[in-house]
Amino acid sequence: MAVDRDLAPALVRSARSAPAITLTGPRQSGKTTLCQTVFPQHPYVSLEAPDVRSFATEDPRAFLAQFPRGAIIDEVQRAPDLPSYLQGLIDADPTPGQWILTGSQNFSLVESVNQSLAGRTAVLNLLPLSRGEAIRFSRYPQSLDEALLTGGYPRIYDRGLDPADWIGSYIATYLERDVRTLRNVGDLSAFGRFVQLCAGRTAQLANLSSLADDCGISQPTAKAWLSILEASFVVFLLPPFHSNLRKRLVKMPKLHFYDTGLVCHLLGIRSASQLHSHPLRGPIFETWVVSEIAKQRTHRGLTRGLSFYRDRSGTEVDLVVEHTERLTLLEAKSATTPSAGFLKTARKVAAHLQDQHRCDLVAVYGGDQLQQRTEESLVPWAQLHQADLSPPSG
**Region 260-268: what's the mean pLDDT?**
97
Domain ranges of the chain: 8-125, 131-237+257-278
pLDDT digits (tens, 9 = 90+) for 3-14: 899 999 999 999
The pLDDT of residue 105 = 66
The pLDDT of residue 116 = 82
First and final C-alpha spacing in the chain:
29
pLDDT digits (tens, 9 = 90+) for 73-87: 999 988 989 999 999
Answer whether residue 352 shows pLDDT above 80: yes
Mean pLDDT (the chain, rounded): 91
Most confident segment among 140-154, 180-194, 223-237? 140-154
d(CA 288, CA 292) in angstroms, rounded, equals: 6
pLDDT digits (tens, 9 = 90+) for 219-239: 999 999 998 899 889 999 999
**Sequence letter at residue 186:** G
pLDDT digits (tens, 9 = 90+) for 366-376: 999 999 877 89
Residue 390 confidence class, pLDDT cut points 50, 70, 90 = low
pLDDT digits (tens, 9 = 90+) for 125-146: 999 999 999 999 999 999 999 9
Quick one: which of 17, 79, 25 has its CA closest to 48?
A: 79
**Region 151-163: what's the mean pLDDT?**
95
**Region 97-112: what's the mean pLDDT?**
80
The pLDDT of residue 288 = 98
Give the CATH architecture of domain 8-125: 3-Layer(aba) Sandwich (3.40)
SS3 sequence, the chain? CCCCCCCHHHHHHHHCCCCEEEEECCCCCCHHHHHHHHCCCCCEEECCCHHHHHHHHHCHHHHHHCCCCCEEEECHHHCCCHHHHHHHHHHHCCCCCCEEEEECCHHHHHHHHHHHCCCCEEEEECCCCCHHHHCCCCCCCCCHHHHHHHCCCHHHHHHCCCHHHHHHHHHHHHHHHHHHHCCCCCCHHHHHHHHHHHHHCCCEECCHHHHHHHHCCCHHHHHHHHHHHHHCCCEEEECECCCCCCCCECCCCEEEECCHHHHHHHCCCCCHHHHHCCCCHHHHHHHHHHHHHHHHHHCCCCCCCEEEEEECCCCEEEEEEECCCCEEEEEEECCCCCCHHHHHHHHHHHHHHCCCCCEEEEEEECCCCCEECCCEEEEEHHHHHHCCCCCCCC
pLDDT digits (tens, 9 = 90+) for 17-30: 999 999 999 989 99
pLDDT digits (tens, 9 = 90+) for 33-73: 999 999 999 999 999 999 999 999 999 999 999 999 999 99
Lowest mean pLDDT among 246-260, 319-333, 357-371: 246-260
Lowest mean pLDDT among 41-45, 254-258, 353-357, 358-362: 353-357
The pLDDT of residue 249 = 79
The pLDDT of residue 393 = 41
**Region 108-120: what's the mean pLDDT?**
78
The pLDDT of residue 281 = 98
Instruction: Name the percent of the chain lying above pLDDT 90.
Output: 75
The pLDDT of residue 392 = 43
Answer whether residue 148 shows pLDDT above 50: yes
The pLDDT of residue 108 = 65
**Region 103-122: what's the mean pLDDT?**
78
**Region 309-334: what's the mean pLDDT?**
93
